Amino acid sequence: MPQSESNVRLRSARHAAGYRSQQELATALGVGVRQVRRWESENPPWPHPDLQQALTELLGQEMESLGFTPPAGRDSRPDPVRRSLVGATVVAAGLAAVPMQSAAAMQPASVAADFEAVTRSHRRLYWSVAPATLHPAAVAHAALGCALLTETAGQTRRTVAAALAESYLLAGRIEFFDLRNGDQAGRTFLLALQAAGQADDSLLGSAILAHCAFIPAWTGDRDAAVERMVAARTYARRGPASAALLAWLDAVEAECETRCGNTRTALHLIGHAEDTLAAGTEHATPPWLDWFTAVRLAAFKGNTQLTAGHLPQARTTLLGVLDDMPATEDKQRTVVYGDLAAVEAAAGDPEQACEYARQALDQLGITWYAMGMDRVREVRRSLAPHQHEQCVRDLDERLYGWSTTVSALAR
């Protein structure tokens, strides 16, 4: 139908919401495509109340803004109870409620891809950019995403919400793993989970919930950690989840159990994760799951073997991790050096322990990672019986240099 004889407002709103064809909108509404054609005609019929509600929720605009004219004597304003429920579906605490918009306020569908592209860039930058530098950028980007949620609808809005959830997840990861601020990370992970709910992305929700489990595990609260892992696995079952995601959930739970002193359970979980990765699935791994590989799983295993007192096995595992680790894994390398130092300290070889600790400090001087520094400090505490030996004193000179001490206190 020529543009001059069609409902341009509805067609524009459909495109802005990410429904490129009339069939896509019809499928989302559960109606036939002929019905959508009628609505996009020159004189669209007034929809049934249920379809009015569905249209305004999917496209984010009032009926008159969508090009519809109510029949004589019919109130075009939405039911106040329904409207309050629609407005309440959007999260609070940073994600402002999304009101129905006028046609002029809606962003084009391309805004979703543009916002998503920046999120992807931040994901890659995490592995090389200093956390204190990247964190403000990720938080500011998330604030933009919150604003875009009020100006998008339908598929466009879901895409923005998913990218927003990933941005908040990245910010929370930096807060917990790099800046060691568990309280702030917990609040940020909550925002990430709320945004994932807006996107209806259960796999991303699973990843966020598993990250939430780290926080109580680090304080020895096993019950809270287990509860969050149960929730994470529930979301993963809504999937379909890839082998990598399922194996990572095992690895996270193993880390939590290790922190709570249950190394036998942790090693069983790691074995299950190894089997899961080996078996694989036909489901693709989400692109945001870039923090987990078979090498990372081996690093988890080496740390658990160390904690369990299986020193020869831990040494073998961790040396294999160093051999297999890609050159880009700077942050994880500091953790592995720290764990190897702990192995040698426990084995009664302070000289070798200090050598690995110095290598960890060398790497930390290039790429800061709070988890890596935590490992070095734990090793130094374990070397207290040898603190008068020259190798330990040399380590102290490195550990308590001006730049290292200031960086540690600043964080």
The pLDDT of 156-177, averaged and rounded, is 96
The pLDDT value given to residue 74: 56
Angle in degrees, 0-180, between the axes of helices 390-399 and 370-382, rounded to the nearest 10: 150
The pLDDT value given to residue 73: 56
DSSP state of 108: P
The pLDDT value given to residue 233: 97
The pLDDT of 193-207, averaged and rounded, is 96
Q: Is 6 helix (H, G, I), strand (E, B) or coil?
A: strand
Widest CA span of the chain, in angstroms? 94
Q: Which residue has the higher pLDDT, 69 or 250?
A: 250
% of residues, the chain, pLDDT over 90: 69
The pLDDT value given to residue 368: 85
The pLDDT of 207-229, averaged and rounded, is 96
The pLDDT value given to residue 101: 53
Q: What number of other Cβ atoms are within 10 A of residue 304's Cβ?
A: 26
Q: Range with the lowest mean pLDDT among 18-27, 285-294, 303-312, 334-343? A: 18-27
Give me 209's structure tokens.
């919930």
List the domain boundaries for the chain: 1-68, 309-411
DSSP state of 384: G
Give me 126's structure tokens.
């995490």
Do 66 and 13 contact (CB within 8 A), yes or no?
A: yes
The pLDDT value given to residue 406: 55
The pLDDT value given to residue 91: 41
Distance, in Å, from the CA atom of 327 to the CA atom of 333, rounded to the nearest integer, reads: 9
The pLDDT of 318-334, averaged and rounded, is 93
The pLDDT value given to residue 403: 57
Tell me: pLDDT of 80 over 70.
no
Tell me: pLDDT of 4 over 70.
no
The residues, ordered by sequence, that sit 6+ positions from 290 with a Cβ below 8 Å of its Cβ are: 123
Q: Do you know the residue count of the chain? A: 411
Mean of the per-residue pLDDT values of the chain: 88
The pLDDT value given to residue 367: 85
Distance, in Å, from the CA atom of 408 to the CA atom of 411, rounded to the nearest integer, reads: 5
Distance, in Å, from the CA atom of 186 to the CA atom of 304, rounded to the nearest integer, reads: 25
Whole-structure pTM value: 0.81
Alpha-carbon distance values, 343 to 229, 296, 302, 319, 363 (Å): 29, 18, 10, 11, 19
The pLDDT value given to residue 95: 57
The residues, ordered by sequence, that sit 6+ positions from 396 with a Cβ below 8 Å of its Cβ are: 380, 387
Q: What number of other Cβ atoms are within 10 A of residue 37's Cβ?
A: 14
Distance, in Å, from the CA atom of 339 to the CA atom of 342, rounded to the nearest integer, reads: 5
The pLDDT value given to residue 17: 85
Report the Cα 319 to chain-centroid distance in Å. Answer: 29
Do 209 and 108 contact (CB within 8 A), yes or no?
A: no
What's the CATH class of domain 1-68?
Answer: mainly alpha
Q: What number of other Cβ atoms are within 10 A of residue 83's Cβ?
A: 16
Report the Cα 66 to chain-centroid distance in Å. Answer: 35
The pLDDT value given to residue 72: 74
Q: Range with the lowest mean pLDDT among 26-35, 90-99, 157-166, 192-201? A: 90-99
Phi-psi group of 242: left, alpha or beta (phi > 0 → left; psi -120 to 50 → alpha; rest → beta): beta
First to last CA, the chain: 63
Work out the pLDDT band at 128, boundaries 50, 70, 90.
confident
Give me 395's structure tokens.
């380590």
The pLDDT value given to residue 405: 58
Tell me: pLDDT of 96 over 60.
no
The pLDDT value given to residue 83: 40
Distance, in Å, from the CA atom of 176 to the CA atom of 283, rounded to the nearest integer, reads: 29
The pLDDT value given to residue 149: 93
The pLDDT value given to residue 106: 83
